[in-house]
Structure 1
């Protein structure tokens, strides 16, 4: 995933609770903590990512 293009979430703001997302082949998405980019990332299918985002917005 080193060659992936990571984007910081626009909802992260300027605080220290940042996530980054990368698009992967096959519509999958990877999510990581921007403070620890060397740590493992969470990889989700396109449906799994859509469900994740929906759940995050429902709880906030």
Structure 2
């Protein structure tokens, strides 16, 4: 359960981020650039995602 109210119609991470749509757009741009144009192989990218989720206590 987030500590910040979600915007109706959007759940979880995106719902909280939609409080500031300009930040959400900037995040999506930078995140997409990082994962799409990276020179890392797909396995290493997935391991980075899993490690990040684990360090941040994400259940998914």
Place the TM-score, normalised by the shorter chain, in its bin.
Answer: 0.3 to 0.5
Higher helix fraction (1 or 2): 2
Larger strand proportion of the pair: 1
Q: State the TM-score, normalized to the length of structure 1.
A: 0.37
Q: Structure 2 length as normaliser, TM-score?
A: 0.37
